[in-house]
Amino acid sequence: MSWSSPKSTDSNQPIDKPSLMSQVVINTRPVERAAPLTRHLQAAGMSVIDMPMLTLQPRQTTDDDMKLMRHWLAGEYQALVIVSPTAAASGLSIWQLLERESQAERAIDHQIGYIEGEGIQGSFEALAAPSHLIAVGEATAAVLNEIKSSSTNYEVLQPTIANNEGMLAMPEIESLQAGDKLLVWRGLGGRRLLVDTLQARGVHIDSIAWYERKMPIDAMAQYQEWLVPLLAQQSLQQTISVQPLKPIVIVSSGTAFEHWESIVRAVADQGLESISNQDMTVIAPLELSDFAYVVLGERLANMVAEQQLSYWRVEDLAPETILAAINSTSL
């Protein structure tokens, strides 16, 4: 049985489970973005463990980054795509800085009594976007809308579905042609939304990576600490002929899945002796196939499908979408 909605496209390898009340869900989203989903799933009766597989670290803004921002402000790009809340916050801070610098220069040119260190904040005008602003996802749009005022001269646009297909269907993207330019605010190593399709049309794409994704230093220790009591519980369930439920792992990026894969494989290879002093060596650590997965988008679905893992594919990370996918059928 498969499940689909406008926000989710496929699932595979269904395995029956009797109840969601004791379902374990591992939320691998970064700490900054995990809380709403965790609360939503807990309210639905699930046991949720926050186990981030990514931590977001700011990158030093380079001269090339500032050059791209100035070119954007000069109107050289037809559209700006912002792929995450972190990218939005980082880009906005530089946009505001450059706007204040520009207003300060104009104040000096017009000799209106500008004094360095004073008057900038007081005379700061609302930001005016020189191109279309396109936010990928509700959380990203919320960051951009938070600073808007009645005099702010921009509108935050969003695709109906926050994936490559949804972006390409937007008139502002669909109309781009050879010679046009697109700027992307993103994280280093993040999803390459639109890039291949638009470059094939001759559209020039520049990007600014405001932050990078790294594995949290305590990720493996956190996994090991969680694993030992889970295996003890599963062993008890087996003695009373209860089939343990597969823990569900929510993964939103290829990098996060790679980190998860490396940890699960490393712990499985080293065995339980190094995890705990308890007499549990007869129980093998879990393999990747001992989990089910909720994954975002086609690329990530292909990654888990290649390893013949059970998964649901969703097209956005709204808590309601993820819960509906899990509730739709049994993995």
Q: What pLDDT does residue 237 have?
A: 63
Paired tokens of 224: 């090991």
Query: Quick one: average pLDDT of 267-292?
Result: 70
13: closest CA among 306, 310, 301, 293? 310
Query: Does the pLDDT of residue 70 top 80, yes or no?
Result: yes
Paired tokens of 260: 């998860």
* Other CB atoms within 10 A of residue 259 CB: 22
Question: Strands 132-135 and 79-82, how do they pair?
Answer: parallel
Separation CA 321–CA 256 (nearest Å)? 20
* pLDDT tier for residue 303 given thresholds of 50, 70 and 90: very high
Cβ–Cβ under 8 Å, residues 176 and 79: yes
Q: What distances in angstroms separate CA 14 from CA 18, 23, 46, 322, one per listed residue?
A: 13, 15, 19, 16
Output the CA torsion 211→214→216→221 (10° steps): 170
The backbone torsions φ and ψ at residue 272, rounded to the nearest 5 degrees and listed phi first, read -80, -15
H helix runs in the chain, sequence order: 31-43, 63-73, 85-109, 120-123, 138-146, 164-168, 171-174, 195-201, 219-239, 254-270, 297-306, 319-328
Q: What pLDDT does residue 238 have?
A: 62
Residues 6+ away with beta carbon under 8 Å from 12: 2, 305, 310, 311
Cβ–Cβ under 8 Å, residues 127 and 154: yes
Query: Quick one: average pLDDT of 245-258?
Result: 92
Cβ–Cβ under 8 Å, residues 25 and 47: yes
Query: Quick one: average pLDDT of 186-203?
Result: 85
Paired tokens of 116: 């360095």
H helix runs in 171-291, sequence order: 171-174, 195-201, 219-239, 254-270
Q: What pLDDT does residue 21 have?
A: 44
How would DSSP label each residue in 140-187?
Answer: HHHHHHHT--TT-B--EE--SSSSHHHHHTSHHHHT--TT-EEEEEEE
Query: Does the pLDDT of residue 159 top 80, yes or no?
Result: yes
Better pLDDT: 20 or 70? 70
Q: What pLDDT does residue 149 have?
A: 57
Paired tokens of 151: 């005099």
Cβ–Cβ under 8 Å, residues 250 and 33: no
The region of weakest confidence among 15-29, 51-65, 168-182 is 15-29
* pLDDT tier for residue 19 given thresholds of 50, 70 and 90: very low
Q: What pLDDT does residue 282 have?
A: 47
Q: What pLDDT does residue 307 have?
A: 95
Q: What is the pLDDT of residues 223-232, one digit of tens each?
A: 999 998 888 7
Query: Does the pLDDT of residue 68 top 90, yes or no?
Result: yes
Q: What pLDDT does residue 250 have?
A: 97
Q: Is 137 left (phi over 0), alpha (psi -120 to 50) or beta?
A: left
* pLDDT tier for residue 117 given thresholds of 50, 70 and 90: very low
Q: What pLDDT does residue 100 have?
A: 87
Separation CA 300–CA 294 (nearest Å)? 10
Separation CA 310–CA 185 (nearest Å)? 33
